[in-house]
Amino acid sequence: MKTYKEKRIKVLDHIMCDVCGKTCTDDFYNEHENATLEAVWGYNSGRDGERFEIHLCENCFGNTLGFLREQRKQVLGPFNYPYDNDPLKGSGYDIV
């Protein structure tokens, strides 16, 4: 004998940019073109226990990335990024 029960699950409907309000989903892909900026602050920080999850469309992500690059220039001056892999330049897909 088989018995069944109903089960409710949450399904992603759409993602909206938290900056401009534009939708980041379309009819073909649930998560079209978007980025997530996430921070979880731990004990002894100035933001103890705070959590942020910010969704950005491609355009707002580009603007945010430009802002971060400019901030870094102000902090580091005219010097290059001091490490081999610059996270603000991004990287391509690894071909195996």
Q: What mean pLDDT comes out for the span 23-42?
A: 79
Please enumerate in sequence order all residues whose Cβ is within 8 A of that of 60, keeping only pairs 6 or more positions apart, or say none.
17, 19, 20, 22
In a domain? residue 5: no
Q: For 39, how many CA atoms within 13 A lie in the half-sphere containing its CB?
A: 9
Domain count, the chain: 1
In a domain? residue 35: yes
In a domain? residue 62: yes
In a domain? residue 49: yes
CA-CA distance, 49 to 43, in Å (whole number)? 7
In a domain? residue 43: yes
More confident residue, 13 or 10: 10
| Averaged pLDDT score across all residues of the chain | 83
In a domain? residue 94: no
In a domain? residue 70: yes
Which residues form the domain of 30?
12-76
> Has residue 81 got a pLDDT over 90?
no
